[in-house]
């Protein structure tokens, strides 16, 4: 969950001050109220509608304790893309607020996060400490971007080659642009994760 933080609380010292260009609203990702019939067969996962990607598996990350779906992942041999959506204010730029929080959290855990300009605006290039299956620690590269929508924020995290070679990750970024976010009309605190559900046909995830 993201927590909104007053601007005075946010420490910007670890990040370069970069002015982000506005993303092209005609290029996706889409709001469910605005998307036209583009011929893509998307898997309905509640707040996210995700088209399968050739050569990648569509997986759901499920909390073992609660059974709730926490995120959606497209995984392939060369890398992966994790998708999550959050409630946001109708007017505002939630990504600008939470980006420094993510960077500070990564730094607190021994990693690094720097800003770069990408297809969707300002994103974070990260090195995060992770524990390997054998118990040793290693640094895992990732690239995190956020897209502000109509009362929602879509957060996409690239792992593997799409994280370390962003210039050649066009197909993976196209996958982000083809996502449809369904915010719904229910009232939700800003920063709460939008609910994800299992698809009607679970076999479509393989």
* Segment 39-81, tens digit of pLDDT: 889 999 999 999 999 899 999 999 888 889 999 999 999 999 9
Q: Which span out of 17-31, 36-50, 139-153 was modeled with the highest average pLDDT?
A: 139-153
**pLDDT given at position 7:** 34
Q: With bands split at pLDDT 50, 70 and 90, how would you rate the model's confidence at 36? A: low
Closest CA to 191 of 118, 95, 69: 95
Domains of the chain: 41-197 (3.40.1000)
pLDDT at position 2 over 70: no
pLDDT at position 116 over 50: yes
- Strands 30-31 and 180-181, how do they pair? parallel
In 32-94, DSSP assigns E strands to 43-44, 48-50, 57-62, 69-76, 79-87
Give the predicted TM-score (pTM) of the model.
Answer: 0.83
DSSP 101-156: HHHHHHHHTT-EEEEEEETTEEEEEEEEEEE-TTS-EEEEEEEEEEEE-SSEEEEE
* Segment 151-162, tens digit of pLDDT: 999 999 999 999
């Amino acid at each position: 969950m993201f927590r909104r933080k007053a601007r005075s609380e946010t420490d910007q010292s670890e990040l370069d001050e970069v002015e982000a260009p506005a993303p092209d609203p005609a290029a996706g990702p889409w709001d469910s109220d605005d998307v036209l019939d583009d011929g893509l067969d998307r898997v309905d996962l509640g707040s996210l509608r995700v088209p399968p990607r050739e050569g990648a598996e569509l997986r759901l990350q499920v909390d073992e304790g609660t059974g709730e779906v926490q995120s959606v992942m497209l995984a392939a041999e060369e890398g992966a893309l994790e998708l999550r959506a959050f409630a946001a204010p109708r007017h505002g730029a939630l990504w600008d607020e939470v980006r420094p929080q993510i960077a500070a959290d990564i730094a607190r855990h021994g990693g690094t996060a720097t800003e770069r300009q990408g297809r969707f605006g300002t994103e974070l290039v990260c090195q995060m400490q992770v524990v390997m299956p054998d118990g040793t620690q290693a640094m895992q590269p990732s690239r995190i971007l956020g897209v502000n929508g109509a009362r929602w924020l879509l957060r996409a995290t690239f792992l593997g080659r799409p994280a370390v070679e962003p210039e050649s990750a066009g197909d993976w970024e196209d996958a982000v642009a083809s996502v449809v976010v369904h915010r719904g009309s229910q009232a939700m605190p800003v920063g709460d994760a939008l609910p994800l559900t299992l698809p009607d046909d679970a076999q479509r995830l393989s």
